[in-house]
A and B are shown apart, each in its own frame.
Chain A
């Protein structure tokens, strides 16, 4: 990781990597959604509403994975003072919040026909909503820090502390009795039949690649912005 801490070297890799991630991810999402919405059979209980899972599960995965990324980047920033770590954490926050929101909305739309309710305050739903609020707070905190030009050590600490919610979301369905069903895919295999499963894996991978492309784009934009500001400052000084 230390090799990429140099912004110039990072940019020389990130620039060509961005379109590859974006286009391959986009193609995988398109293929998975076509298969998931039109080809795969319906579920024996839920019927057609099972297809919401092809968006809902990748969104949940990226909402949680995004904060894990923020926490790792924040730790690197606090310990090794990598110049790119705080940029990476801030770049992850916005798409992470977006996917957490998509997860909540699609889950709610699935819950109405399946459970008979849009929203219930059970362990899984509540902890996921808390994750969304954490993202909003992180975005506010880190952009306020960036505007003042102060070090973003406070948002880094917030990023690490907030990560405690990730295992809580994951284990909520095991620790507490919840309305949300337990985990379908674990180390012991999948409780989703293979005919319904493969588009889910493709769309999860596709959305992950797209997420990577968005993060790289945002990091490049932030680095460019810093460069512009530095140049403007030099020009006014002359």
Chain B
């Protein structure tokens, strides 16, 4: 049974592509944990992140947890993933989008008492885009006045 040359090439190419996709999927699933950009509070607890090691901690800023200290540049707040929480201390300037009940990534290290000292704060934006009127109708979130609804779950 003779197979036409171009059909043979088609079969070879399909096999090669299938092998390639399989290899890539295997590599990606092996990378899954290492390629994560930050630890959530739950992961950090589970993985026993070393004290003092430079890591990123990400999650939502717990509603009503931001406290500005007397020196004016130091803030305390709580990062939550909906289950676990970590208290964070940071001295410096935060991005404009850093606010309560919204995503944050803190760079820094864990302390012996289980708190986290951040050297840099990044705000995480979510995938929802809308004009202020629409946002106002949906959920009134004024970052300065906590209104007592529960923090969003991190997906």
**Chain A min CB distance to B155 (Å):** 7
Near B by CB (< 8 A), chain A positions 69-86 give 75, 78-81
Let me know if B24 and A164 touch, CB within 8 A: yes
- B10 and A117 contact, CB distance less than 8 A: no
B46 is an interface residue with CB less than 8 A from chain A:
no
Indicate whether A193 reaches chain B with its CB closer than 8 angstroms.
yes
What residues of chain A lie closer than 8 Å to B20, measured between beta carbons? 160-161, 164
Grouping DSSP codes into helix (H, G, I), strand (E, B) and loop, the B interface class, with mixed when no group exceeds half, is mixed
B17 CB-CB contact with A under 8 Å: yes
Among A44, A114, A179, A192, contact of B135 (Cβ-Cβ < 8 Å): A44
- Do A160 and B17 contact each other (CB < 8 Å), given the known contacts A44-B135, A117-B122, A120-B37? yes
From residue B104, how far is it (CB to closest CB) to chain A in Å?
10
Say whether A43 contacts B131, CB under 8 Å: yes
Question: Does B112 have its Cβ within 8 Å of any Cβ on chain A?
Answer: no
Interface set, chain B 1-37, CB cutoff 8 A to A: 6, 9-10, 13, 16-17, 20-21, 24, 28, 31-32, 35-37
Interface residues of A in 93-147 (CB under 8 A from B): 113-117, 120-123
Whether A148 is near chain B, meaning CB under 8 Å from some CB there, is no
A13 to B29, CA, bound (A): 45
Q: CB of B54 within 8 A of chain A?
A: no
CB-CB nearest in chain A for B121: A116
Query: Are A181 and B131 in touch, CB under 8 angstroms?
Result: no
Candidates A44, A80, A121, A123; contact of B131 at CB < 8 Å: A44
In the assembled complex, the Cα of A181 lies from the Cα of B124 at a distance in Å of: 7
Q: Are A176 and B36 in contact (CB under 8 A)?
A: yes
**Neighbouring A residues of B135 by C-beta, 8 Å:** 44-45
Measured CA separation A41–B130 after assembly (Å):
8
Beta-carbon contact of A116 and B94 below 8 Å: yes
Across chains A and B, the number of contacting residue pairs, with CB separation under 8 Å, is 119
Report which residue of B98, B120, B123 has the largest number of chain A beta carbons within 10 angstroms of its beta carbon.
B123
Residue of A nearest to B7 (CB): A79
Interface residue? B105 (CB, 8 A): yes
- Tell me the complex Cα distance, A41–B21, Å: 42
Given contacts A78-B9, A168-B28, contact A115 B122 (CB under 8 A): yes
- Asked whether B97 is an interface residue with its Cβ less than 8 Å from the other chain, the reply is yes
Q: Is the CB of B132 within 8 A of A44?
A: yes
Answer yes or no: B145 CB below 8 A from chain A CBs.
no
B53 within 8 A of A: no
User: Is B133 at the interface (CB under 8 A from chain A)?
Assistant: yes
B92-107: contact bitstring with A at CB < 8 Å (1 yes, 0 no)? 0011111000100100
Q: Does A53 contact B (CB under 8 A)?
A: yes
Docked-complex contact A192 and B130, CB < 8 angstroms: yes
Please measure, in the bound complex, the distance between the C-alpha atom of A133 and the C-alpha atom of B65, giving whole angstroms.
43
- Does B108 make an interface contact (CB < 8 A)? no
Q: Does B52 contact A (CB under 8 A)?
A: no
In the complex, besides A43-B130, A164-B20, 4 extra interface pairs with C-beta distance below 8 angstroms are: A79-B6, A160-B16, A181-B127, A184-B127
Q: List 20 A-B contacts (CB under 8 A).
A: A42-B131, A43-B131, A44-B134, A45-B125, A45-B135, A46-B125, A46-B129, A50-B129, A79-B13, A114-B125, A115-B125, A121-B37, A175-B32, A176-B36, A177-B40, A182-B126, A182-B127, A184-B127, A192-B129, A193-B129
| Interface pairs A-B: 4 shortest CB-CB | A116-B95, A44-B135, A41-B131, A193-B130
